[in-house]
Amino acid sequence: MIFAQLTDIHLKAGGRFAYKYSDTLSFLRAAVAHLNAFRPQLDFVVISGDLVDLGTRDEYELFRQEIAPLEMPFYVIPGNHDDRDVMRAAFSDHDYVSPDGPLQFSIEREGLRIIGLDTSVPGHPEGHFDVDRQVWLRGELEAHHDQPTLVFMHHPPVRTGILHMDAMMLMRADEDFWPVVSGQPQILQIACGHVHRAIEVFKNGIPVSICPASGHQVTLDLEPDGEATFMLEPPAVRIFRWRDGELVNHLSFTDNYGPRHPFFDKYGKPID
């Protein structure tokens, strides 16, 4: 089974650029074309939040229109730029979308449990994991403790060293989140968005990954007084391969980098 994570699209109504320089509509189109062209064909895509920039109905309408060409099913969870209720209405045809409460899912595909956690709180940039969500996740992990599990969530439950982003990570992660997932050996990985760049952290025995955005990337600035800036570094998605009990993930860059070049000629000799 092969599937992808697409995150932090920040689409704006009318295809307006985000933050003046990020052509998020063109970036989304490139990502959709990339996901469709990927071979072997992807089984599904998880979209891990910040689908749009301001959370308006117009933005979600455009998002639905632009994601429609995607040739495989997709699942969504909200990020801090989403408006949960407007998003809920926009995806009411998705059967896991509940009429109220957090917008999250728990599915099983080919023996892999895939959980999408809603860490958003309306009106807040930072993530939260309140008691209701703790109870829900605990219940899912208990009910499926024998299934290898991959957890998607928008806000990372770890620090990255990019301080303006750490200020809006999952709040009280050590108090509220880690006690729920620690000591649960079935969790193979926690896959996040929000920070708009590729980051890997290993915490409490669990690998945590952050996926680059489909458009603009947050600047790698580890200075204590680093400002909130972004750069147009290469956009990417993560491609997951689940096979024989092993979960592998790759970054796959969505820009066009030209054709594939062979290492060997038709006689099997290295090309020199």
- The answer for residues whose C-beta is within 8 angstroms of residue 23's C-beta and 6 or more apart is 17, 215
Q: Which long-range contacts (CB under 8 A, 24 or more apart) does 18-23 make?
A: 18/53, 18/215, 18/216, 19/216, 19/230, 21/216, 21/230, 21/232, 22/215, 22/216, 22/230, 22/232, 23/215
Q: Which stretch binds Fe ion (CB under 5 A): 5-13, 223-231, 238-246, 264-272?
A: 5-13
* 8 Å CB contact between 36 and 271: no
Q: How many residues bind Fe ion (CB under 5 A)?
A: 5
79 binds Fe ion (CB under 5 A): yes
Interstrand relation of 199-203 and 206-210 (parallel, antiparallel or unpaired): antiparallel
Rule CB under 5 A: choose which of 5, 22, 80, 119 binds Fe ion.
80
Please identify, using beta-carbon distances, which residue of 125 and 161 lies nearer to Fe ion.
Answer: 125
**CB count, 10 Å around CB of 229?**
11
Tokens of 11: 């689409």
Q: State the nearest-atom distance from the C-beta of 28 to Fe ion, in Å.
A: 13
The SS3 of residue 100 is coil
Q: State the nearest-atom distance from the C-beta of 216 to Fe ion, in Å.
A: 9
Q: State the nearest-atom distance from the C-beta of 230 to Fe ion, in Å.
A: 10
Site for Fe ion in 171-200 (CB under 5 A): 194
Please identify, using beta-carbon distances, which residue of 113 and 197 lies nearer to Fe ion.
Answer: 197
Q: Which stretch binds Fe ion (CB under 5 A): 45-53, 136-144, 184-192, 247-255?
A: 45-53
Please identify, using beta-carbon distances, which residue of 8 and 66 lies nearer to Fe ion.
Answer: 8
215 binds Fe ion (CB under 5 A): no
Q: State the nearest-atom distance from the C-beta of 8 to Fe ion, in Å.
A: 4
**CB count, 10 Å around CB of 177?**
25
Site for Fe ion in 47-76 (CB under 5 A): 50
* 8 Å CB contact between 19 and 50: no
Q: State the nearest-atom distance from the C-beta of 144 to Fe ion, in Å.
A: 27
Q: State the nearest-atom distance from the C-beta of 196 to Fe ion, in Å.
A: 6
Q: Which stretch binds Fe ion (CB under 5 A): 1-9, 110-118, 215-223, 257-265?
A: 1-9
5 binds Fe ion (CB under 5 A): no
Q: Which stretch binds Fe ion (CB under 5 A): 46-54, 98-106, 109-117, 182-190?
A: 46-54
Rule CB under 5 A: choose which of 2, 4, 6, 8 binds Fe ion.
8
d(CA 116, CA 104): 5
Q: State the nearest-atom distance from the C-beta of 163 to Fe ion, in Å.
A: 16
For the residues of 136-205, what is the DSSP string, one character each? HHHHHHHHTTTS-EEEEESS-SS--S-HHHHTTSBTTIIIIIHHHHTT-TTEEEEEE-SS-S-EEEEETT
Q: Which residues bind Fe ion (CB under 5 A)?
A: 8, 50, 79-80, 194
